[in-house]
Structure 1
């Protein structure tokens, strides 16, 4: 198996990766693992095959209907990507708020501890310096 073929662990599926897909993934996914790149290439090729099959069978649909369905599918995929991005941003905001709240609670506890420590030191100093009386 060469780098342009994909093999599934459940059953052997060989996917021919076009040079365009290979170049696109290698350019856009620099720094990703080979496995991620392989799976992405296989996904793109599967989408291309599916789109071609749908375009070939569009004889039963009007071209406009087919284009509408394809656009809706693209918008759905892009919309989900935006939703996931929004979720990530919201999660980050929650983490930041929680960290800030915890920081303020920690600072409050430190100030309270400092105050109690000062009172204890003052009481110890006064007790130490007062003459012993029976």
Structure 2
């Protein structure tokens, strides 16, 4: 960069279980992601920006002669597979959560029905006792 074309960079901190990486996001990447992914969450946008910047930095780090099409495609495939793996894990977690919710709802339904039957039985016994008391005269 020269004094005439200084760009401001957004700094993003990416945390993972392995390490913390500070990634500078260029205004071009920021604008692209914000435009193309308007409906996504901030976390998804942040991760996408970091991925784009990492791919760009990797391509810049490789010299023009050594960066082959296969190397680039391999990096993109690895990034895609990583994202797809995360989506599969999240989908599995959602499915497991849904199964747990269904099991809990079914268990709660059966407990509520049991309580309702018990209550109905008690009301029936109380009504029978009240009827017998009402219709039987007091012994004098």
TM-score over 0.5 for the pair: yes
What 5-or-longer segments of structure 2 have no aligned partner? 1-7, 14-21
Confirm whether residue 126 of structure 1 aligns to residue 132 of structure 2. yes
Show the counterpart of 1:90. 96
Q: Give the conservation status (yes or no) of the 8 Å contact 1:7–1:14.
A: yes
- Greater percentage in strand: 2
Aligned mates of 2:92, 2:48 — CA distance in 1: 26
Show the counterpart of 1:113. 119
Q: Give the conservation status (yes or no) of the 8 Å contact 1:5–1:17.
A: yes
Q: Give the conservation status (yes or no) of the 8 Å contact 1:6–1:16.
A: yes
Matches within 5 A, 1:36-115: 36=43, 39-40=46-47, 42-53=49-60, 55-56=62-63, 59=66, 64=70, 67-68=73-74, 70-115=76-121
Aligned mates of 2:116, 2:9 — CA distance in 1: 60
Aligned mates of 1:73, 1:58 — CA distance in 2: 23
Give how far 1:121 is off: 1.5
Give how far 1:101 is off: 1.8
Show the counterpart of 2:33. 24
Give how far 1:110 is off: 0.8
TM-score (norm 1): 0.65
- Greater percentage in helix: 1
Q: How many residues align?
A: 126
- Label 1:86 to 1:7 Cα distance change in 2 as closer, same or farther (>3 A): closer
Aligned mates of 2:77, 2:95 — CA distance in 1: 26
TM-score (norm 2): 0.63
Cα deviations by residue, 1:22-67 (Å, 9 ceiling, x for unpaired): 233333242745xx477346423432334325654994x9864674
